[in-house]
Chain A
Amino acid sequence: MGELRIAVQSLKMSVQARMQYRVDTLVASIAVFVRESANIIVIYLALLKFDAINGWNVNEMLFLFSILFLTYAVVVSLFADLRDFSRMIREGRFDRLLVRPRGLLLQLILNNADVIASVGHGTLGILLFLLSAGRVGIEWNPVTILYYLCAIIGGVLMQGGIFIICSALSFYFVETGSIRSIFYWDMRRFAGYPISIYNKLIQTLLMYVVPFAFVNYFPAQFFLRKPDMAGYNEAYIYIAPLVGVFVYLLAYLFWRVSVRRYYSTGN
């Protein structure tokens, strides 16, 4: 409970720190929101030309996107330091954490929240959710609500896990920026669309290497049951939230091993 109090306190302090520059934060958040919205609007306009992509109509696509944005909003409020880990090491801000009496990973997760990105992506996510959820025929009951929440948590853990793995790679390699951009950012771009539109290779990557498919595609199928689901094992829908937990645990173990190596070799 001590840790929880610290977690809440830390988050509060991140927000307070940003709020010292209220206008600046607001403008930057709006900028993020506009930038991301522009992407969505382009896709939306393109989609209007088609009736559907592999059976997914525009609203269903927006629902798929909304999960991506909502999870990312939570991810950056927790994993901001791990997202920007190479920069943190380069600027020498990592060393000071080493002698503080608290778990390193916990410090990295708690210390910094990217409030701007969180607000920008979160607002867009909520907006997309409100626009699409009512029009895709989801029946909200305790079971679907519970599944939705678990899927979001799983999605956050999956992406957090990827950031942790990429950060841990910094202990082995000097430059990890390109790894991160391939394994996170490029995969995330693919995940904006139903994975059934891709060739086998990309599908495999999205399901078994960087399992973004379990962040939004399979959870969305729980609600939508599109015909393209026939190509995949039905069970994937139900294990989707667990995949996040699994990736996170794997990332945690990899981090432990890597950071121990870092301790014993020194910087």
Chain B
Amino acid sequence: MIVLRNVWKTRGGREVLRDVSFHIAPLESVGIIGLNGAGKTTLLDTITGMLKPDGGFIRINGQERVLGNTGLCRDLVYISGARPQLWEELKVRASFAHCVEMYRVDRRIAESRLAGLVQAFLIGPFLERTPGSLSLGERMRCELAYAFLAAPPIILLDEVTLGLDVSIRDRVLRYLEEYKRQSRSTLLYTSNRLSEVEGLCGRVLMMDAGSIIFDGSVRDMLERVSPLGRMEARVSPAIPDFEDLPLERYCVDGEQITLTYDKRKLDTAQLLRYLMARCEIKDVRLSEPDLEEAVRIIYGGGQGWKQ
């Protein structure tokens, strides 16, 4: 059980956490999404006690302090690109041995877990090397394996798919989803990709500028965000504005236009017809809104937002 109540944190005169409150139940998996600088890492740092909040309180399993509390430390693992857990100077395998000792994992269980992780993350070749000789992505896979080798009741993962190429990222996400299905730990997962969180987490916290601007189920979030479509097109001649269309948002940059629209109000075919009647379409691309867009939509309470 993780409880935060009215947590504030100021760093360098900037409020990096503003009045953050939430509960996370045991075995819940929660995705924390937000753009860079939204406060995701600060939030995890604060939960683990690496940063002290300026106000409010935090309890993990009813206890106030993580640092210096070996018992509570054994209940969680925190993996973050900024705070590697592997020993730099040791071979990855030796770090894993340390991990198994520290988290008191039964030797036989540890061996079978490691075998599974080697397969899932394809880290076999890295075990006999030191983290320094691995690439960012390779190191991150080993860091992840460290977390799931320990497999404590609470696992905090901060932007762990950073630097992973697509196929590996899929493998990692599949492993996480499988792990979640077996409901073995509370999982806190930060990301700046909405799509990653979709499959993995039942619940989403969306952060912006240090505040939680959305806390609810993934389905609720998608319902608010996914009716939106996005069209990027190059048109000639340029169209100065789209004030006569019920768009959520648009952006005109010479011939390049980006339109965000609610499919319930305006469908894609209508929009294309509108454009073809006025100009020649040189290029068109349709996409779902990205996180930046989603943040704006949630922030704006679903209201149209024009630039």
Seen from chain A, the residues whose Cβ lies within 8 Å of a Cβ on chain B are: 2, 5-6, 9-10, 13-14, 16-17, 20, 93, 95-96, 98-104, 111-112, 259-260, 263-267
6 A-B contact pairs sorted by A residue (CB < 8 Å): A17-B94, A100-B85, A101-B74, A263-B52, A265-B52, A267-B51
A102 in contact with B90 given A9-B97, A95-B50, A267-B50 (CB within 8 Å): no
Hey, which chain B residues are within 8 Å of A95, CB to CB? Answer: 50, 83
Choose among A99, A111, A264 the residue that contacts B52 (Cβ–Cβ < 8 A).
Answer: A264
> A96–B84 contact, CB under 8 A?
yes
Which stretch of B62-70, B180-188, B262-270 is in the interface?
A: B62-70
Main secondary structure of the interface of B (DSSP, over half): loop
Given contacts A9-B97, A17-B90, contact A260 B68 (CB under 8 A): yes
| Distance to closest chain B CB from A265 (angstroms) | 6
Q: Does B76 contact A (CB under 8 A)?
A: yes
B137 CB-CB contact with A under 8 Å: no
Separation in Å of the A259 CB from the closest CB of chain B?
7
Q: Is the interface of A mostly helix, strand, loop or mixed?
A: helix
Cβ contact within 8 Å between B65 and A17: no
Q: Which residues of A contact B102 (CB under 8 A)?
A: 6, 100-102
**In the complex the two chains form, is A101's CB within 8 Å of B73's CB?**
yes
**Bound CA–CA A9/B84 (angstroms):** 21
- Candidates A103, A111, A263; contact of B65 at CB < 8 Å: A263
B72-94 with Cβ < 8 A to chain A: 73-74, 76-78, 83-85, 87-91, 94
B56 to nearest A CB, angstroms? 14
B101 within 8 A of A: yes
A2 partner residues in chain B, CB cutoff 8 A: 101
A102/B48 in contact, CB under 8 A? no
Most buried by B among A98, A260, A267: A98
In the complex, are the beta carbons of A263 and B73 less than 8 A apart? no
CB distance from A25 to the nearest CB of B (A): 12
- Bound: A264/B66 CA distance, A: 11
Kindly state the separation between the CA atoms of A263 and B102 in the bound complex, as whole angstroms.
21
Could you tell me the distance in whole angstroms from the C-beta of A90 to the nearest C-beta in chain B?
A: 15
Complexed CA–CA distance, A99 and B147 (Å) = 12
Interface pair B87/A111, CB less than 8 Å apart: yes
Nearest 10 interchain pairs by C-beta = A266-B52, A101-B74, A101-B73, A263-B67, A17-B89, A13-B94, A96-B83, A101-B102, A98-B67, A99-B78
Give chain B residues whose Cβ lies under 8 Å from the Cβ of A14.
89
**Any A CB within 8 A of the CB of B126:** no
Chain A hits for B202, CB < 8 A: none
**Nearest residue, chain B, Cβ from A103:** B70
For B48, list chain A residues within 8 Å (CB): 98-99
* Cβ–Cβ < 8 Å partners of A93 in chain B: 88
| A260-B68, A267-B51 known; A9 vs B101 contact (CB < 8 Å) | yes
Residue from the list B50, B89, B94 in contact with A98, Cβ < 8 A: B50
Contact A16 B94 (CB under 8 A): yes
Q: Which listed residue, A6, A20, A266, A267, touches B101 by the CB 8 Å rule?
A: A6
Counting CB contacts under 8 A, is B49 at the interface?
yes
Once the chains are docked, how many angstroms separate the CA of A203 from the CA of B91? 47
- Closest chain B residue to A3, Cβ basis: B101
Contacts of B101 on A, CB cut-off 8 Å?
2, 5-6, 9
What distance in Å separates the Cβ of B140 from its nearest Cβ neighbour in chain A? 15
Q: Which residue of B lies closest to A260 (CB)?
A: B68
CB distance from B19 to the nearest CB of A (A): 19
Given A99-B67, A265-B52, 9 extra CB contacts under 8 A: A6-B98, A6-B101, A17-B90, A98-B50, A99-B50, A101-B70, A102-B102, A104-B68, A263-B65
